[in-house]
Structure 1
Amino acid sequence: MAAPTSDLPWDLLTSHFKFDTSHPDHGDITDFYLCHKPDQGKDLNKFVEVLAESLTTLAAQERRKYAESYEAPEPNDMVIPESDLVQIDAALRRWLLSCTDISIPPWFQNRLPVDYSLISRPLSVRRVRRLENTRLPLSTSGTGDAVICSHVGDYSCQCLPRFEERRMSTFLHNHQWNDCFRFDEVNGDGFYGLELLKALILHGSMDTVLRICAHSQVDFLGWWDVQTCYCVGDDVALGMMCRDTLRAYILLNFIRRGFPERCVRNTADKAKSEEEERSDPSADYLRTRTYQMLVNHLTISDMSTEIPQFRHMEFFGIRNDHSRSFPRKESWGKGSLDYIYPLGRVSYKEFLALDIDADPPYMPSAAEMETVMWILSEKGLPTELVDTILGLAEYDEMRVLRIPHDPLHELNSDQLDEYLAWSWQILLRFDMLARAQGDEIPWDALISNCLLESFPIRIPTSGYPRPKETKQCFTRNEETESDGLRTTERFKTVFL
């Protein structure tokens, strides 16, 4: 089901914002700012209502494609079929490979002095445990096809996932409260099942997901707002995956439909180099704090849960280990996060290099890789040597966009449409998941809070003098009588 972007009243949202390079309340930050029109509150609340209703209605239509009810599986039943494993194999393998070099918790990675050795055990023990003193498991055959584990009853094999981890029992470890630095000890097995669930949702294996949810002891929504340690954010939360996808869907449509003039680059007769494309100031949306914050947030790769980030990284052309939750160690002592990450004050090229010492490594597109392989083959090189050469280039990640780092470029319209349709499907699947768990997602709260967190709607409490007549244009209502998922999303933003 394609995303119904044209049927949604985007003008109710976009007509109340303007593009500007500064604002009295926010300083010299390029962004989309509220116009404070008389009907602002009414229109924004109406947009939230229509989008929420559309998600609920179309999710119900999508649900009718599957069986009306499912028989609850037994703990020993095989619930992940081989066809699903083929779909999620690449994501699981990439997730495992991303943590092979972890020796300290991810949020300390590359931020500590070289001689720091107080923490030596990996945070994600459940993922890394099998790597200790063993070679990396082979997930694929020489032909690139997924290899299905056949080690029945073997909990020590190096396959991913193991045959026994495809059983219903893998998903019966619900979240439990844990002390700091004891997440893996208390919730490691449950977290592994949660990541399998995320991979299944991302690849559309909803028949499997709905069957798993039929078991009375499954409580995936208990993971909605979860963190590995209570001094960090929701770094492993299931809800984070839903909120991030919603944010991408809304913001990209917002810019595309409301500010098309900010998406057009100055063109010339001759083709531009990648350097010229990235530094062209005419595509102003790339300079906004809203967009730069979106890209940074969706491509953070130092968290325990990275499976939801992979699709975003590919689309935005950001390599793994580029974006960080906290500044790297080289940035310590330089000032506040706003000083270290001056989003909205720098060009997109400068934004990409904020947390690294040089430009990010080049990410080729799939078409470029095919061209290189064809050229090398035409030169008479055998296939094995071609694979070796490309392996030495370390092009293990590929971008999706034809024009890199500019998803709203007119030449990237097909890829953008595909990404938005995928994002919409993810949102519908979350609605189906919640209802299969006997709950419902409060889309109105998620959407309104997304707008509040994404745009400069809040007035800073300090830093810039503001006119006396300036006032907050929203309020937050707490729904205290709701249960289940609504308890974690109880703060609903109402625009004034």
Structure 2
Amino acid sequence: MSHQAHNIPWNVFGSNLKFRTKIPCADDATSLHFRFKPTQGKELTYFVDTFTRNVHEHADSERRKYPEAYEVPGLDDIVLDDSLTRKMTHAVRLWRSERRDKLGEVDEKPTTELCHHSEPDQRCRCPLSYNQRRMGSFFHKYRWSDCYKFFDDHKDGYISLEVFKTLLMHGEMDTLLKICAHPGVGFPSWWDARLCSCYPPDLGRDYLENALDAYLVLNIFLSSFPKSWAPGRSLDQDYRRTRIYQMMILRVTGTRQASELATHPHRQVFGIARGQLNSYSGFKYPMTTKRQDKFCGTDQPYGRLTYEEFLESQKTIDFLPSVSDVLHVRWILCEKGLPGEIAQLILDKALYKPQRRLKVPHDPLHPENIEELNKYLKFCWQVLVRSEVVARETGMNIPWKDLVSESTDRLLGCSCRKLLGRGEPPNDDLLWFK
């Protein structure tokens, strides 16, 4: 069942789409395509309006869980207490280590140890420094940077932004609301931030757009195209080989130049390792791919490869263990006579830890994955709702209607869609969907 099915008219959106195995205006890809019904405009507007209203209503409900007003923290007040800092250390260390080229090396100290560098110290290699836990660290405001100058100008502000996003994605709303109580918080200025003109302006909202893209795509398939994920489906009807699904997967899991924090929860669910897909490089087809000649020179073959070929289009698939895989290996070591503590130490040294959430990998809509799928859809929805709550606290107005429309265009866009965007009807050659 699709998430928020009783509140959001997924069937209205889905009724305006058709599953096509070869779409001429989308490079002959397999995907979903608009039917262009006479009522399409009104129905999609109704969907977007209802979606937006539900985000607002859930944000109202979420905000009522916390105090109506917070005392404005002082510049030197610690807003990230010791307990929360320990809780966040692993996540912060992960995204900091991914950008160690710009942010510096990070110590692999235990999460129970906290930073005690109370004064700015260039030698501090703690994942979350003492100064970054102060209210003043969230005052950094974004300003334009020339190419290759972003981290020179914004290193501290970038770290504070990523900490802010980490708090939101982990649901630490009480702390976020305390931070947002100060009128000097700089988060709103980062909404359209970018590394430079070479990159999209999404550094301050990539986490939100990822959650929105995944939420829309999965719910559309769940609600309106059950044959695409039913057991025994044909390869041509598999939702995973569609252009819309493969574009979404690359977008929410692909390695990025700016920030990879927004990809972490999505990689765990979709079973994609860091570096498996790169959103800023072209596709390279393995020599074993039978269809290599057909797609030679194609940069973005979404919907024209099987899902397995798509995943290996840049790199051979890495194996990511699930919780059950790790427990099984631990059981084997204990069966060999090793104490549990030694078995766990071996697993830790081997970095053999859960990295995949789904029981059946690479197929989130598989019936055996329903529990994890529901958790994931709930997480995506909560990210949207929390974003609205935080935006209100900082005086921002998130343009939800624009975001949903942009996501739809990004995932379902094609040449005839662009023609319609200019008010021109598609010609007869494009009306294969009649």
Q: 1:62 to 1:329 in 2, by over 3 A?
A: closer
1:311 counterpart residue number: 265
Residue aligning to 1:352: 311
Q: What root-mean-square deviation, in Å, do the aligned CA atoms of Structure 1 and Structure 2 show?
A: 2.7
Change (3 A) 1:336 1:441: farther
Instruction: Supply the AA of the counterpart residue of 2:378.
Output: A
Structure 2 partner of 1:379: 336
The correspondence of residues 352-371 of structure 1 with structure 2, limited to 5 A, is 352-356=311-315, 358=316, 360-371=317-328
For the residue of structure 2 that corresponds to 1:459, the secondary structure is helix
**Residue identity opposite 2:114 in structure 1:** I
Cα displacement string for residues 225-248 of structure 1 (whole angstroms, at most 9, x for unaligned residues): 11112122236x112221221111
Number of the residue aligned with 2:225: 259
Q: Which moves more between the two structures, 258-267 or 224-233?
A: 258-267
Conservation of the 8 A alpha-carbon contact between 2:25 and 2:415: no
Matched residue SS, 2:261? coil
Report the CA distance between 1:345 and its aligned residue. 0.4
- 1:32 and 1:288 in contact (8 A); partners too: yes
Contact kept, 8 Å, 1:264 with 1:283, in 2: the verdict is no
**Number of the residue aligned with 1:300:** 254
1:138 correspondence with 2:97: no
Q: 3-state DSSP class of the match of 2:33?
A: strand
Determine the structure 1 residue equivalent to 2:407. Answer: 450
Mapped to 2, the partners of 1:397 and 1:55 lie a distance apart of 32
1:52 counterpart residue number: 52
- Report matched runs for 1:165-184 at 5 Å: 165-184=132-151
8 Å contact from structure 2 (residues 282, 300) kept in 1: no
Q: Which runs of 5 or more residues in structure 1 are unaligned?
A: 101-121, 268-279, 473-496
Cα offset for 1:99?
Answer: 3.3
Provide the secondary structure at the position in 2 that maps to 1:308.
helix
**2:364 is equivalent to residue 410 of structure 1:** no
Instruction: Quote the Cα distance in structure 2 between the aligned partners of 1:336 and 1:230.
Output: 30
Structure 2 residue 196 is matched with structure 1 residue 229: yes
1:96 aligns with 2:96: yes
SS at match of 1:68: coil
Question: Is the contact between residue 401 and residue 412 of structure 1 (CA under 8 Å) also seen in structure 2?
Answer: yes
Counterpart amino acid of residue 216 in structure 1: P
Per-residue deviation, residues 46-101 of structure 1 (Å, max 9, x unmatched): 0000000010111011101111112221110001122322332221111123234x
Partners of 1:401 and 1:407 within 8 A in 2: yes
Instruction: Please state how far the C-alpha of 1:213 moved relative to its aligned partner.
Output: 1.2
Aligned residue number for residue 35 of structure 1: 35
5 Å-filtered alignment, 1:101-116, equals none
Counterpart residue number, 1:422: 379
Q: Where does residue 289 of structure 2 map in the other structure?
A: none
Alignment partners' CA distance in 2, 1:92 and 1:76: 21
- The reply on whether 1:245 has 2:211 as its aligned counterpart is yes
Measured at CA, do residues 239 and 406 of structure 1 come closer, stay the same or move farther in structure 2, by a change above 3 Å? same
- Of residues 180, 195, 206, the one that matches 2:162 is 195
Q: The residue matched to 1:177 in structure 2 has which SS? A: coil
The structure carrying a bigger helix percent of its residues is 2
Equivalent AA in structure 1 for residue 7 of structure 2: D
Report the AA paired with residue 187 of structure 2: F
Deviation of the 1:151 alpha carbon:
4.0
> TM-score normalised to the size of structure 2?
0.89
Letter in 2 for 1:352: L
Give the match for residue 488 of structure 1. Answer: none
Q: Distance in 2 between matches of 1:319 and 1:194?
A: 24
Aligned sequence identity (%): 34
Shift of 1:183: 0.7
- Provide TM-score, normalisation by structure 1: 0.78
The CA distance in 2 between the partners of 1:146 and 1:303, in whole Å, is: 30
In structure 2, the residue corresponding to 1:180 is in which secondary structure? coil
Where structure 2 has 5 or more consecutive residues not aligned to the other structure, the ranges are 286-292, 420-424
Q: CA separation of 1:160/1:337 partners in 2, compared to 1, >3 Å: closer, same or farther?
A: farther
Matched residue, 1:290: 244
